[in-house]
Chains A and B, each alone.
Chain A
């Protein structure tokens, strides 16, 4: 099994551009999550999903959107990139059992 995969690994955006970060898991997990990681701040939850067709906001959702049309995929959309969105983004999934989450390798995004 590949686990949780994310693409791209790196991306540089100009201010105002848009892009989609892709996340796919092959473990048939119902729960999926998007986090951003900034130095010294730990991980902050952006959005999460408890199943296909169901999404909800996390702690820092402004400037982002998500969709969950299938169990496997949970893309994160940035509509109007801003320098404050420069960060490392992690996708994670969970079966819900004992709350353990499995993480992807991350996407490093720079907005200039």
Chain B
């Protein structure tokens, strides 16, 4: 079965600093990978997705993620943090076809941005 591990339940950065949120996955099939963001008291919004087209994926709000098969990783980065980036971020992997297109989510990382 697929699984996702997000390293660090809380990450704190200064405004303008690099954001790095870590995600490692396990999958028995070529994975489809996702990063979602959740702002306080809201639902989840898709940031970006990897669907095997390109290993470096660009998303909304200046975020990007790189798929590294050898490391089974899909880390999320942003060169310069903004106060509005404070939120909880979830990495997810698809269960693949024939499994109801289900997603398996990591436990989440709360990003705090200090002024």
Q: Which residues of A contact B (CB under 8 A)?
A: 4, 31, 33, 40-43, 45, 48, 50, 56, 58, 90, 92, 94, 96, 98-106
Contact = CB atoms under 8 A, between A and B. Distances in A.
B90 A96 contact: no
Chain B interface main SS type: loop
Contacts of B44: 43, 90, 92, 103
B49 interface: yes
Given A40-B108, A42-B107, A98 B102 contact: no
Contact of B9 (A40, A48, A50, A106): A40
A99 B94 contact: yes
Contacts of B61: none
Nearest to B42: A105
Contacts of B105: 42-43
Nearest to B53: A98
B63 to A, nearest CB: 16
Contact of A105 (B36, B43, B100, B101): B43
B55 interface: no
Contacts of B9: 40
